[in-house]
Amino acid sequence: MKAASAVLALRPGALASGFAEALLTERERWALWLPVALGTGVGLYFLLPVEPPLWIGLCAVVAALAATAGLQGRAVGLAAAIFLALSLGFALGEIRARAVATPILDRSIGPVAVEGRVREIDHRDGAIRLTLDRLTIPRLAPQRTPERARMTLRGAQPDIQIGARIRINAILRPPPEPAAPGAFDFQRQAFFERLGATGFATGQIRVLQVEPPAGPVDAARLWIAEVRKKITQRLMAMLPGAAGAVAASLITGEQGPIPAADMQAVRDSGLAHLLSISGLHMSLVVGLVFFIVRGGLALIEPLALRWPTKKIAAVVALIVGFVYLQLSGASPPTQRAFLMAAIVLLAVLIDRQAISMRTIAWAAAAVLVIAPESLVGASFQMSFAAVVALIAVFEATGDKLAAMRADSGVIRRALLHIAGLSLASVVATLATAPFTVFHFNRLPLYGLLANLTAIPVAELWVMPWGMLALLLMPLGLDGWALAPMGWGIEAILAIARWTAALPGAVIMLPEMSLAALIAMVLGGLWLCIWQGRIRWLGIAGVALGLVVASASRPPDFLISSDGKLIGARGEDGDLALSRRRAGFVPDTWLRRQGQESGADWAQLWRCGASGCSRAYGAIEVALVRTPAERRIACSREGIVVVATIPARYCSAPRLVIDVIDLRADGTHALRFEGDRVEVQTVRGTRGVRPWVAAAPGRGNRSGP
């Protein structure tokens, strides 16, 4: 009988009925899928190859509203609400792109005398980077002048005040496009930051005047920027070396002065999140203030009996969190962290559970409404993935942990705290691993070990001393607090260096497809949002993502947009580069191949009158650099010709890629499979979008 019942339970009808029943038992969790639908709509907008008309998103929202109002029933209403959230996310992406659209340079210009107001100053790799607004650029009409430009200065420069109008000779370029198809799109990020040009100065700055702010908001922004600059200078003066640079990173968000070796050690040890002001730092600051204020008020009996001390502490913590947000530069990750902390504190004010899946869902929805472009950024993805996974584990184990702590002594409580910290580190590491591989192609193996030792130092020592230093800084007494803060920072750096030096500290992995990441994300959300047995179906999504990721194959051949760099995979699968000099493009290519360094280039090629060539299975690739080589190569059939000179009227080969194609379509990536050639280009993967700078020339030509 039991076997017969099991067989009947596996029938499609029975499975569907059981699945529907399981969903009905979790109807209180249905609303948690609305932010997921909102994010899906935003993601669909960014995946499109062309910019859609604005009316599409708006009409979809109106239709969804009508459906939501007209349909009856819980399940049908949920479907309509999900469609509404999805449509709203799509429309938000469209509206945001149009709201931030400003001119972008379409070509390099200069040297030219650029005038502008200093908006931001930061330090990076021993240089100064200025972000200017209110630009005046000769021979560039006002309607074609970017709203903001960022340029790098090297050498001795006069002291620059934020808000000063300056003039400097500089070479300006459009923001750089991705180094390879599917790589990080800085041009898109710059578009949403209203940054229309980048470049470097060719001389010294001339300070013209200090311009008055445009209004109270502008005045407040400039004042905060100047305060941040002075705090950074003070921290680095009081704590010289790497400790001062890390202190500035923790308090004002200025990471540029951190020595490159220390920054790499921090990344390879899995501690990079400690140097980027995000959820951990904001929760530490807000949490410390909340408990200090509440504990202090509890010591005053008349206040503790008559006043709502918990809510007063929440208000004070919210104010301090907002101040910390401004001092840290209000970067997008910090804005998200503050928003999440604010929602938690607001839950305290209205007597709701402070930390729950519903809280994080509302925080994610709020971030996507304010800045839809956050969805495609690594910081949004990693921070929310970690928090969602931690809350899901807390929901499943919180009662058991609370029961274990209830009758525990000091030693057992300490051991439970260490166990909880270990569990949190494991969960956060697993939750963020897919995003780490997708964006950075590096997976620190000893991140758990490093975090278990470094986070308590940051949580219990460094951040409290840092807050005290900020309070004492106006009195000139901050040195008393900065010294012990520096000791803690040196301990964290020592942990990072030691962990990064362990054998096999980092695994380099090749590029992962977007489809694999999406499958893992949806599977992970299914695991975290549901609480019943149906949650385990999410494992199938994660497994599917792993299978798709393992099937991904890096390109066999790469040609940079200027034709000066070529990469080719050898028989062993390693990528060899035509030049060994380090740089952003070659480093990106190697990283996305899962390599630290390139293979031997010379051994891959045989060279003759028609240039250098190499066979990939049944297909031969010829590199052409001179007109004589071009004539011979262009007379041959069935080969792939890659020419670093123009190759017009070259029709015999099956595929020709020359400098005009590269200029028009950006970096080309080729994959060979038998007698087939798959060609991907940067422009082809990005499509025609507002953030894609115009490029001259014709597109790629492929023969039959």
Kind and range of the H or E run holding 419: helix 410-440
Residue 12 pLDDT: 60
Based on C-alpha coordinates, what's the Rg of the chain?
28
Residue 333 pLDDT: 67
Give buried/exposed letters for 636-664 (b at 16+ CB in 10 A, else e).
eeebbbbbbeebeebeebbbbbbbbbbeb
Separation of alpha carbons 423 and 415, rounded Å: 12
Separation of alpha carbons 451 and 449, rounded Å: 6
Contact 284, 459 (CB under 8 A): yes
How many Cα atoms sit within 13 Å of 683 on the Cβ side? Answer: 18
Contact 102, 147 (CB under 8 A): yes
How many Cα atoms sit within 13 Å of 340 on the Cβ side? Answer: 27
Long-range contacts from 649-653, C-beta under 8 angstroms, 24+ separation: 651/703, 652/703, 653/622, 653/703
Separation of alpha carbons 230 and 421, rounded Å: 36
Question: Using H for helix, E for strand and C for coil, what is the string for 339-391?
Answer: HHHHHHHHHHHCCCCCCCHHHHHHHHHHHHHHCHHHHHCHHHHHHHHHHHHHH
Q: What are phi and psi of 312, to 5 degrees?
A: -60, -45
The structure tokens 């028989």 sit at 571
Residue 612 pLDDT: 84
Separation of alpha carbons 381 and 368, rounded Å: 12
Q: Which residues in the chain show pLDDT less than 50?
A: 1-10, 697-704
Note the pTM of the prediction, 2 decimals: 0.88
Classify domain 109-211 by CATH architecture.
Answer: Beta Barrel (2.40)
Separation of alpha carbons 271 and 274, rounded Å: 6
Give residues with Cβ within 8 angstroms of 140, minimum separation 6: 109
Contact 559, 667 (CB under 8 A): yes
Residue 169 pLDDT: 92
The structure tokens 């300056």 sit at 166
